[in-house]
Amino acid sequence: MATRRDAREWALQIVFSLDLNAKAELDWLLADFFSENPKKDLKNRAFAEKLVRGVYAEQPTIDAIISKYAQHWSITRMAAVDRNVLRIALYELLFCPDVPPAVVINEAIDLAKYFSNAESGRFVNGILDRVRRELAVERNAVTDGIGKP
């Protein structure tokens, strides 16, 4: 049985493919990936697809956040694996409130270490932790009544 970690790995593979082949069609890549891997369970396949489609739809916003927090690193200068691990994790942090931030960050670090190297894990952790802290401050401000709509 597949896990959410497996789904994140699948999402990384697909987002990585999109990143390196910008002219590829998203629906075709998804269909091709899952036709080559037909034993993927539907629940985690749906989660992987949600991550991929979310990153694809929100990439300009996500990339702007990465650029803001990745001091002295442009998006294009980052290793492709690191860049795409960050994209998936930031999508989860921003748009998947049901997943605890600590889980998102730990999973991203593990993916970076596994598909890239230990140094990538530290790089990813540094950026995601800064984003997590800022998001926590913003959310606390809203729940404390500051900036209430």
Q: What's the whole-number mean pLDDT along residues 44-72? A: 95
* 21 Cβ contact list (under 8 Å, min separation 6): none
Task: For residue 57, name the pLDDT band (cuts at 50, 70, 90).
Answer: very high
CATH architecture designation of domain 4-143: Orthogonal Bundle (1.10)
Q: What pLDDT does residue 47 have?
A: 95
Summarised one tens digit per residue, pLDDT across range 104-123 is 999 999 999 999 998 999 99
In one-letter notation, the amino acid at residue 110 is D
The DSSP call for residue 77 is G
Summarised one tens digit per residue, pLDDT across range 9-37 is 999 999 999 999 988 899 999 999 988 87
Q: What pLDDT does residue 9 have?
A: 96
CA angle at 32 for the pair 120 and 42, rounded to the nearest 5°: 80
